[in-house]
Amino acid sequence: MISSALALIVYFPFFAALHSLLADPCFKSRARRALGKASDRWYRLAFALLAVAMILPFLCILVFLHDRVLYIVPAPWRWLMMACQVLAALALLGALRQTGIARFLGLAQICGQIEAGSLVTDGFYCHLRNPLFLFGAIFLWLFPTMTLSLLAFNILATVYFYIGAKHEERSLREEFGKEYEDYRQKVPMFLLRLKCHEDHGQL
């Protein structure tokens, strides 16, 4: 019987490589040259749909393949962990709303809003540069029931979140230049600061 943890370890590099390739600015530039202006409108939506399709195998592996329970956190601590998961999910949604859910999903682009938005530096982004990755990692690690496959997934996902954050920041430097570099110098990458940097808001 195939171990779910082994299946995750085998599948994750394929997911990470393809997802990173499709998110790479050079690849997107080539797609724009090959497909023309249609790429500006449809690329992000196609990217989002493909990402969802590539996530489904993870769910199937975690649900259907043989697994081993490592620990189960008893009440009342499990309820506290689940409450913190809800808070992390709400915070993630709030950070996503700041940058634009429609743009993130590619819906704004197909409606003709092609131009890049301004650099968001207020709200959650005033306290850290990568709230989506941080809150996503917090959500994953707060599951009160930990299995071997979930542990493997969490480790791989956390590493990929870090790599993804570095990749995204490189893209933002290319897009916003000195504006983003000034922001990067003031705001930490993952460590949540209680006090905002000076001149917060839209830089």
The mean pLDDT of 22-44, rounded to a whole number, is 82
Task: Break the chain into its structural domains and give their ranges.
Answer: 4-186
pLDDT above 90 as % of the chain: 55
Using CA of residue 38, residue 42, residue 43, residue 44, what is the dihedral sign?
A: positive
pLDDT for res 116? 64
- pLDDT score, position 150: 94
Mean of the pLDDT values across residues 121-132?
A: 93
Q: What is the pLDDT of residues 149-161, one digit of tens each?
A: 999 999 999 999 9
Are 95 and 132 a contacting pair, CB within 8 Å?
yes
| Residues 101/84, Cβ–Cβ less than 8 Å | no
Q: How confident is the model at residue 2 (pLDDT cuts 50, 70, 90)?
A: low
Whether 190 and 130 have beta carbons less than 8 Å apart is answered as yes
pLDDT at 17: 92
DSSP string, 54-79: HHHHHHHHHHHSB--EEEEPPTTHHH
How far apart CA 81 and CA 25 sit, in angstroms, is 38
Looking at residue 98, its pLDDT comes to 92
Q: What is the reported pTM?
A: 0.86
